[in-house]
Structure 1
Amino acid sequence: MKIRFDEAWSGALKIANDVAREFDTDVILMRDLLGRSSIVVNLLDSDPRILELRNRLQAACGPFTGQQPVLLVDTLFAPGQVLNSPDRHPVPRFMANSGRVSVVERGTVGADWLRPAEEPAGKRIALYGFKGGVGRSTATFILARHMARQGQSVLVVDLDLESPGVSSLLRSDLEYAEHGIVDYLVESAVENHADLDLVTKSDSIGDLHGNGEVWLASAGGRPRSGYSYLDKLNRAYFDLPATPDREAATFGRRLANAIAACEDQVAKLSRKPDVVLLDSRAGIHDVAAVAITQLSNLALLFATDNPQTWQGYQALFDQWRTKLDTPTTDRLRNRIKMVAAMIPSNNAEAYLHSFADNAQECFAMTLYDNEEGEVGLDSFNFAPNDKSAPHYPLTIPHSLDLVGLDPSRNTSWAGSDLIEAAYREFVEAVSVTLEEGA
């Protein structure tokens, strides 16, 4: 019988855990770009058990065995790059009960989902949807306007780099700043980012009757002859290696620097932003990973109630459950809140009941008590109807006013009574949540 990817990984984890116990040593399990596993262990190269360990791994992993199945710490070319890697994560005890196994993944995408940072200073909200078409960008616009009406200075950062949306809502004339987020990422890679023009005021937010304001940092710069957005986008997503003059910088750190530069520019032009809204792109993408795990105090996860959405969120949450330690997973869980978007007007109560049930089941299988009963300090199974729980949604009813919306032709769309009513509960709840977390 052939050994497939998932079976190979389960076998490698079991062997790594057994070795940690049998040899009384820490074990690192490395998985390369092709999914092939190798075990890094602190043994002498003369140890007779190495050959047996190599054979055990090959038998368990088949074609997913690393080219060098057993790597010895003393023989590694640069052991610090493995032992001290920021991508080295301890395996939770419910998966490896020795407590001495850690994992280093070498993947092309998704690493930033497993690089959580401490909460940033200030107030930052990420708006994310696993699937597109759930009204995330529209909600970002409405939320920015609501906060500005409260007298706040709001910076909106369009991080949907491959399909910008909120930028055109906030500047219906497309008169963005000269440069955008992709410009900063490209220019900063060669230390050429000083004096970039990155932010502009919204021209479509309406009369605020006070000192509230909304600023936009668009994905790309102002459309003009010779401006090649795609060429820059192709060079935006990567980690910077270390050089003699510069420390290494992950994509997440580079994106954080871009947002900090936008905040500083708003502060110079007006005043420091009171709140920053990050309109993230959909899907399992590194932009979304950084926005949720590194850049925000609160992550609003948009969803519609269907099996594909819940399967996607469960796969995402399961990465945290199985790759991060319990305190880190608890910290991430406490940052997020579900949003039930585009709620159908017919039978809305039944829809929300189903949404809450399915969301609670998704969280219970991943971010609440895990299946082996290992419970984090603040972790337990919330009831489906517990409104304080991360899974219980903020709500946005579906509005017919948004069907086929072209903001450049209908500049008064956001002021309609239907739009105001649809988003009232959502924006007020987000404001309260943000204040409670301050």
Structure 2
Amino acid sequence: MIHFDDGVRTLVETAIRVIGPDAFKEARVFRDAFGRLGYCTQNPLSEEKAAELQAALADALGNWAYDEGTPVGPDSFAFDRLWEAPSRWEVIDSQAEGAEPIYVDLADRRIVGQDWVVVPERATDARPRRLVFWSVKGGGGRTTALSVLAASLAAESLNVLVIDADLEAPGLGSMLLEEHLVPKFGLLDYLAESGLVAWEDPDFAACVATSELTHKVGSRGLIDVVPAIGTATLAAPENMIAKLSRAFLEKPSEDGDPITVRDQLRAFVDRMAQRRQYDAVLIDARAGLSEFSASTLLGLSASVMVFGVDQRQTFQDLSFLFAHLSRLEQDAAERAEDWRRQIHFVESKSDKGRDGADFRNSLHEMLAQTFYEADEEGANFTFSLTDEEAPHMAARIHFDSSYTKFDPIADISVLKSDVYRAAYSEFLDRANAILLGRKES
């Protein structure tokens, strides 16, 4: 019996057996939304060879064969759509001793999650710079760290925009906005209505509010907060899940082409970042590998801080993401300005009595297996364990019991620099280097 993980190898081996070693020289594998696999080629096959391949694929793949194994060539109505679809590399290790791996172009068609197969937007030097906060699991202090960073920037008289993109577990708004300040709308409303309602200036203005907390600790900078949900949803909580189900959908454009969730989110962030002269935009992403995570991680031209605790499960779960990202197709120009360098790591809840070496070692081992390039000629993204410039040299946030129940509205002291610097200084130095170009101390 063929299972999902066996399918691509089975198709590749079958096509090479029927067509020969150049079967994928100008061809690709495609996988449809149900997981069925097919062979798409720019070179037309003879009727005899096409029939032979169709029969072989149908026999080898069974129910996993797209259109009973019929190959898709330039004359097929589906060819352009499949050939132009976003793709990633699939590496098939040859069973023959001493044989080279086979690199195959895989177009992964999906009902949802299409943003995962698009090359990430590279962070730019344009101001304000954007920083996304993400973790593979919740409970690692990601949102708390974002709030502390926002407070530290405001303490330097800088203006910050923070956006809660954790739609399924919103919290940033209630952390930084007292109840009377919560705006009418949040990001959820925009995404749920996108494609049907053209938001105007008053609508965008009604989904942001300025936190009063920093002024209570003497800061002169502003923290503007876009919550995930506003008072409209709080007043009608029965609509929350209904909005969620629509927020993650592609929407129709005027010309009929779909607007991806990634493009919708990007348009919203761009619009909100233009409201005033911000010095930084901080975005709290949904934890985990959901479809919406792809939009925030890969689609906002932002640097990304990946949070994790020193546990075996952290590195296992991160390996799923980075093994996937390593296969995204890039051309030479994209590699020259490598988006991989905008990913930074943070060890949260770090033990003050240890130097963080265990976390860095485990992170390096995982990245070396999934994300870093092999140390060979032509490689430009390879790092040794002790390389100080490497992504696995994670910044640390020390465990501090004062921040286990972070609620600055109830206890404003947690936003005072003399309190948070003890635990967050290393993280803040790294974030300031990313956002403001400062050297780390």
Q: What's the TM-score once normalised by structure 2's chain length? A: 0.86
User: Could you give the per-residue CA deviations for residues 66-113 of structure 1, whole angstroms, max 9, x where no partner exists?
Assistant: 23423333443243322222x2345569899676x4221123443322
2:226 aligned residue (204, 214, 217): 217
- SS, match of residue 51 in structure 2: helix
Residue correspondence of structure 1 range 35-434 to structure 2 within 5 A: 35-44=35-44, 46-85=46-85, 87-89=86-88, 91=90, 101-115=104-118, 116-120=120-124, 121-122=126-127, 123-173=129-179, 175-195=181-201, 196=203, 197-207=206-216, 211-222=220-231, 224-226=234-236, 228-244=239-255, 247-264=257-274, 266-267=275-276, 272-325=277-330, 331-345=338-352, 347-349=353-355, 352-370=356-374, 377-383=379-385, 385-415=386-416, 417-434=418-435
> Higher mean Cα deviation, 199-208 or 177-186?
199-208
- SS, match of residue 196 in structure 2: coil
Q: Do 1:158 and 1:217's aligned partners in 2 also have CA atoms closer than 8 Å?
A: yes
Report the CA distance between 1:306 and its aligned residue: 1.2
- Judged with a 3 Å threshold, the aligned counterparts in structure 2 of structure 1 residues 9 and 129 are, in CA distance, closer, same or farther, namely same
Matched residue type, 1:34: F
Distance of 2:24 and 2:240 partners within structure 1: 54
- SS, match of residue 430 in structure 1: helix
Report the CA distance between 1:211 and its aligned residue: 4.8
Matched residue type, 2:146: T
- SS, match of residue 430 in structure 2: helix
Distance of 2:313 and 2:78 partners within structure 1: 42
Q: Do 1:399 and 1:419's aligned partners in 2 also have CA atoms closer than 8 Å?
A: no
Report the CA distance between 1:32 and its aligned residue: 1.8
- SS, match of residue 72 in structure 1: coil
Distance of 1:90 and 1:369 partners within structure 2: 14
Distance of 2:149 and 2:404 partners within structure 1: 19
- Consecutive unaligned residues of structure 2, counting only runs of 5 or more, are 95-99
User: Could you give the per-residue CA deviations for residues 206-227 of structure 1, whole angstroms, max 9, x where no partner exists?
Assistant: 4575652111111112255346
- SS, match of residue 322 in structure 1: coil
Matched residue type, 1:380: T
Q: Do 1:127 and 1:279's aligned partners in 2 also have CA atoms closer than 8 Å?
A: yes
Distance of 2:52 and 2:182 partners within structure 1: 63
Distance of 2:315 and 2:214 partners within structure 1: 34
Distance of 1:17 and 1:320 partners within structure 2: 27
Corresponding pairs, count = 423
User: Could you give the per-residue CA deviations for residues 331-356 of structure 1, whole angstroms, max 9, x where no partner exists?
Assistant: 232111110001134x423xx11101
- SS, match of residue 282 in structure 2: strand
Q: What's the TM-score once normalised by structure 1's chain length? A: 0.87
Report the CA distance between 1:164 and its aligned residue: 0.9
Q: Do 1:20 and 1:26's aligned partners in 2 also have CA atoms closer than 8 Å?
A: no
Report the CA distance between 1:147 and its aligned residue: 1.5
- Consecutive unaligned residues of structure 1, counting only runs of 5 or more, are none
Distance of 1:161 and 1:342 partners within structure 2: 24
Q: Do 1:182 and 1:233's aligned partners in 2 also have CA atoms closer than 8 Å?
A: yes
Distance of 2:438 and 2:55 partners within structure 1: 52
- SS, match of residue 229 in structure 1: helix
Report the CA distance between 1:258 and its aligned residue: 1.1
> CA RMSD, aligned part only?
2.9
User: Could you give the per-residue CA deviations for residues 347-383 of structure 1, whole angstroms, max 9, x where no partner exists?
Assistant: 423xx1110110000110111124xx67664211322
- SS, match of residue 409 in structure 1: coil
Q: Do 2:93 and 2:102's aligned partners in 1 also have CA atoms closer than 8 Å?
A: no
- SS, match of residue 198 in structure 2: coil
Tell me what 2:436 maps to.
Answer: 435
- SS, match of residue 147 in structure 2: helix
Distance of 1:102 and 1:304 partners within structure 2: 35
Q: Do 1:156 and 1:277's aligned partners in 2 also have CA atoms closer than 8 Å?
A: yes
- Judged with a 3 Å threshold, the aligned counterparts in structure 2 of structure 1 residues 22 and 406 are, in CA distance, closer, same or farther, namely closer
